[in-house]
Amino acid sequence: MTADARTGKAESSVGQDRVRIDGPLKVTGTAPYAFEQPVENPLYLFPLTSTIAKGKIRRIDAAAARAVSGVVDVLTHENAPRLLAKTDAELYLLQSPDVHYFGEYIGAVVAESQEIARHAAGLVRVEYVAEAEDTAFRPGHPGEYNPKKINTGKPADTQQGQLEEGLAQAVVTVDEVYTTPYEHHNPLEMHSITATWDRERLGGVLGVLGERPRLQIYDASQGVSFVRLMLAPLLGLLPQQIEVISPYVGGAFGAKGIPHAQVMLAVLAAKRLPGRPVKYMLTRQQMFRSVGHRLTTHQRFRLGAAADGTLTAIAHDVSQSSSRLKQFAEQTVNATRHLYAAPNRQTTTRMVPLDIGPATFMRAPGEFPGMFAQETALDELAVRLGMDPIELRLRNKPDTDPESGKPHSSHYLNECLLEGARLFGWQERKAPGERQAGEWLYGMGVAAATYPRQMTVPTKASVRFAGGRYVVSIAAADLGTGAWTALTQIAADALQVSQNEIQLQLGHSDLPFAHLAGGSTGTYNWGSAVMVAAVKFRSQYGQTPAEGDEAEGSAYFPDESKKYVLDAYGAHFAEVKVSRVTGEVRVTRMLGVYDGGRIINPRTANSQFIGGMTMGISAALHEESYLDSRPGYGHVVNSDFAGYHIAANADVPDVQARWIEHPDPMFGPTGAKGIGEIGIVGVPAAIGNAIYNATGKRLRELPFTPDKLV
């Protein structure tokens, strides 16, 4: 906080447009990323990956690779260090000759240079005993099962009221199937790691306590505290023996949330070469194999409504892909349980077990695919009712949470819809086919967005006065989202000092334990811990602290918040043009209006919102990983940017975000709601609804490629 020179009034940092603290380091190329961290005498790893989807390795002939000058080691399941506990099937790597999916890590070459490692890896001959695999996703698969719980710990299925009666009462119904494809995370920075095994001397008189192993990892990670906790039991180490460092991350959308097999691969390689740091950065192609993906879904969505649009029934029945190696049961049905009122409700989740790699979180897992179905179905219902789709949504706002009956802590969905309609010029919207220019048909669409407050694990922060500055420490992560800056702003206000008196430390596992950057919890959760530590510091040491004064605090959330259901909301508006000649879709304009609680930094928040919308446009128009499910294959065919298209600048000419700012104290003392994921939720539905408005053609399969429109 600084005093305004003119008025003498204190001016807060929170809410001000602040440039990124880490910006200069990043744009000058000097921010050290995991692969670039300067270490002594590094080695480079290139992996061996399976070329079958299921079976066993019979023999690995690495003689030619070992003979290459500069090759230091060839790691395989035969010589890999043993892991002590199978606490995570994905991380339990190289412990047997079994192959679970195509592209699985089955070993690695470690060499003095990246080029040598890659060349030598190509010389390794692997013989397999292949078994019949199944990689073909289809609902109703004989092995389909009920996972009982879905991600975030909620039940897989729910029932309320009488669904069939609710549908029978309805004057208008929708009963359609919506599908979403496999997608792969593609941040600018591929996953990378620099791992070093060493020994550390323990204390005691003359070092009598001896030595113990120490593992240091520079990782591209959304949560250093979790990396260490997850690796420790497998490696038989105490968490304190593992140091995980990740100050800068070149983008992450969930795949860097928890460690995947690549971390263990480098760690096992490094363990055989104590004292030598082993570096591994995935190739872009490897990003499509073993570091997670968005699973594919088949969603039957049913709606029933009275003539005035009042919903009488909602049913959402989902079947989705799963890895036999490790289940990730995406919460695809979650938003359906909360967004609209209807007395008769059903949601179900089924998993189809396949011989594919594990899925993982990808920006708004669950809400993203589920809301594509729900918000498209709502639009279909509006068409059948002859009602404006905004009006239909306004009418079905629930008074309390439809599932639990609890009140909402704050709920500004309708305000977002109305404000968005005004700003976007919704009243200009015409009927399908009515607005054209040359070969182009124009249309507008809308979709709601919601994202829940996720649970967090206990998170701490500390404030220490050192060198005339307030050193604020927390093992948080900045994925490029602006956490460095937002947490500094929060700390400055809580300590009532100016931003440049704060020195923030994050991205190191020795710092106070923090929940990972996931579930859009970062700002309100880490921010809460920082505020508590700062307030404690001030009350203990006053305005003139002494060097070394320190206070620690844990994230605080009001007990009262348990009485409420907590969600962020938004409304997405899209205008598209569709070529009658080629079926090409261009998103000409897009607007998101959000109820995201307090906005800590309008600049970085705006980037989060428009980044989410951009990723949503990308998913709507382009993104799809084609898995070749013919017998003997099982790999992603389009595993590079030539085949896997991602929205580029020309795809997003005009994407804007606005917000309705109502701080919500039930989300914690910052008043901020999560905003990292809501920007993508419902975007493909808004675009698909706009395509319908332009053309009269309803698309229910993502992505909306031209072949589906000609």
Shortest distance (Å) from residue 413 CB to ligand MOS: 21
Shortest distance (Å) from residue 483 CB to ligand MOS: 13
Shortest distance (Å) from residue 417 CB to ligand MOS: 25
Does 166 sit near ligand MOS (CB under 6 A)? no
Q: Which one of residues 369, 518, 527, 596 is an interface residue with ligand MOS (CB under 6 A)?
A: 518
Does 289 sit near ligand MOS (CB under 6 A)? no
Does 361 sit near ligand MOS (CB under 6 A)? yes
Does 470 sit near ligand MOS (CB under 6 A)? no
Shortest distance (Å) from residue 613 CB to ligand MOS: 16
Does 572 sit near ligand MOS (CB under 6 A)? no
The first and second tokens of residue 604, run together, are 């970085």
Could you tell me how many residues of this chain bind ligand MOS (CB under 6 A)? 10
Stretch that binds ligand MOS, among 144-152, 300-308, 355-363, 378-386 (CB under 6 A): 355-363
> What residues have CB less than 8 Å from 86, skipping those under 6 apart?
92, 95, 234
Listed in order, strand segments (DSSP E) in 580-659 are 585-595, 655-659
Query: Three-state secondary structure along 353-377?
Result: EECCCCCCCCCCCCHHHHHHHHHHH
Stretch that binds ligand MOS, among 33-41, 360-368, 401-409, 611-619 (CB under 6 A): 360-368
Does 604 sit near ligand MOS (CB under 6 A)? no
Instruction: Give every strand in the sheet of 585-595, ordered side by side.
Output: 436-437, 440-452, 567-579, 585-595, 655-659
Distance, CA of 611 to CA of 595 (rounded, Å):
17
Shortest distance (Å) from residue 147 CB to ligand MOS: 19
Which entry of 90, 367, 575, 677 is annotated as an active-site residue? 677
Shortest distance (Å) from residue 518 CB to ligand MOS: 4
Distance, CA of 426 to CA of 412 (rounded, Å):
19
* Paired strand residues for 442: 577
Stretch that binds ligand MOS, among 97-105, 361-369, 436-444, 624-632 (CB under 6 A): 361-369
Amino acid at 590: M
**CA count, 13 A, side-chain hemisphere, 706:** 10
Stretch that binds ligand MOS, among 194-202, 308-316, 356-364, 612-620 (CB under 6 A): 356-364
Shortest distance (Å) from residue 479 CB to ligand MOS: 8
Does 369 sit near ligand MOS (CB under 6 A)? no
Q: For ligand MOS, which is the closer residue by CB, 389 or 522?
A: 522
Rg (CA), the chain: 26
Q: Where are the alpha helices (DSSP H) in 542-655?
A: 602-621
Q: For ligand MOS, which is the closer residue by CB, 517 or 532?
A: 517
Shortest distance (Å) from residue 455 CB to ligand MOS: 12
Q: Where are the alpha helices (DSSP H) in 105-212?
A: 114-121, 163-169
Stretch that binds ligand MOS, among 90-98, 293-301, 358-366, 689-697 (CB under 6 A): 358-366
Distance, CA of 599 to CA of 616 (rounded, Å):
22
Shortest distance (Å) from residue 363 CB to ligand MOS: 5
378 Rama class: left (phi>0) / alpha (psi -120 to 50) / beta: alpha
Q: For ligand MOS, which is the closer residue by CB, 107 or 223?
A: 223
Distance, CA of 357 to CA of 634 (rounded, Å):
10
Distance, CA of 633 to CA of 636 (rounded, Å):
9
**Which one, of 486, 489, 497, 495, lies nearest residue 462 by Cα?**
495
Q: Which one of residues 147, 250, 254, 369 is an interface residue with ligand MOS (CB under 6 A)?
A: 254
**Which one, of 154, 612, 135, lies nearest residue 362 by Cα?**
612
Q: For ligand MOS, which is the closer residue by CB, 294 or 598?
A: 294
Q: For ligand MOS, which is the closer residue by CB, 519 or 688?
A: 519
Does 363 sit near ligand MOS (CB under 6 A)? yes
Shortest distance (Å) from residue 362 CB to ligand MOS: 5
Q: Which of residues 212-251 bind ligand MOS (CB under 6 A)?
A: 222
3 state DSSP class of 43: strand
Listed in order, strand segments (DSSP E) in 285-343 are 297-305, 311-323
Q: For ligand MOS, which is the closer residue by CB, 312 or 625?
A: 625
The greatest distance separating any two alpha carbons of the chain, rounded to the nearest whole angstrom, comes to 86
* Paired strand residues for 636: 627
Residue 677 bears catalytic tag: yes
Q: For ligand MOS, which is the closer residue by CB, 372 or 426?
A: 372
Q: Which one of residues 55, 259, 304, 365 is an interface residue with ligand MOS (CB under 6 A)?
A: 365
For 117-152, give one letter per residue: b (16+ CB within 10 A) or e: bbbbbebbebebeeeebbbbbebebeeeeebeebbe
Q: For ligand MOS, which is the closer residue by CB, 152 or 588?
A: 152
Q: Which one of residues 519, 522, 553, 592 is an interface residue with ligand MOS (CB under 6 A)?
A: 519
Q: For ligand MOS, which is the closer residue by CB, 505 or 608?
A: 608
List the Cα angle 512/150/136 in 5-degree steps: 120
Question: How big, in percent rounded to 5, are the helix, strand and coil portions of the chain?
Answer: 25, 25, 45
Q: Which of residues 443-462 bind ligand MOS (CB under 6 A)?
A: none
* Paired strand residues for 569: 450, 595
Listed in order, strand segments (DSSP E) in 562-615 are 567-579, 585-595
Shortest distance (Å) from residue 516 CB to ligand MOS: 8
Q: Which of residues 186-215 bind ligand MOS (CB under 6 A)?
A: none
**Which one, of 454, 554, 482, lies nearest residue 512 by Cα?**
554
Distance, CA of 480 to CA of 529 (rounded, Å):
21
By the 10 Å C-beta count (0-12 exposed, 13-18 middle, 19+ buried), 602 is classed as middle
DSSP secondary-structure letter at 207?
G
Shortest distance (Å) from residue 88 CB to ligand MOS: 17
Stretch that binds ligand MOS, among 7-15, 252-260, 310-318, 694-702 (CB under 6 A): 252-260
Q: Which one of residues 362, 486, 504, 506 is an interface residue with ligand MOS (CB under 6 A)?
A: 362
Name the residue number minimizing CB distance to ligand MOS.
Answer: 254
Q: For ligand MOS, which is the closer residue by CB, 494 or 680?
A: 680
Does 294 sit near ligand MOS (CB under 6 A)? no
Amino acid at 675: I
Q: Which of residues 528-567 bind ligand MOS (CB under 6 A)?
A: none
CB 108 within 8 A of CB 286: no
Q: For ligand MOS, which is the closer residue by CB, 151 or 396?
A: 151
Distance of CA 147 to the CA centre of its chain: 21
Distance, CA of 328 to CA of 325 (rounded, Å):
10
Q: For ligand MOS, which is the closer residue by CB, 222 or 689?
A: 222
Does 257 sit near ligand MOS (CB under 6 A)? yes
Stretch that binds ligand MOS, among 362-370, 463-471, 485-493, 597-605 (CB under 6 A): 362-370
Catalytic site residues? 677
Q: Where on the chain is the footprint of ligand MOS (CB under 6 A)?
A: 222, 253-254, 257, 361-363, 365, 518-519
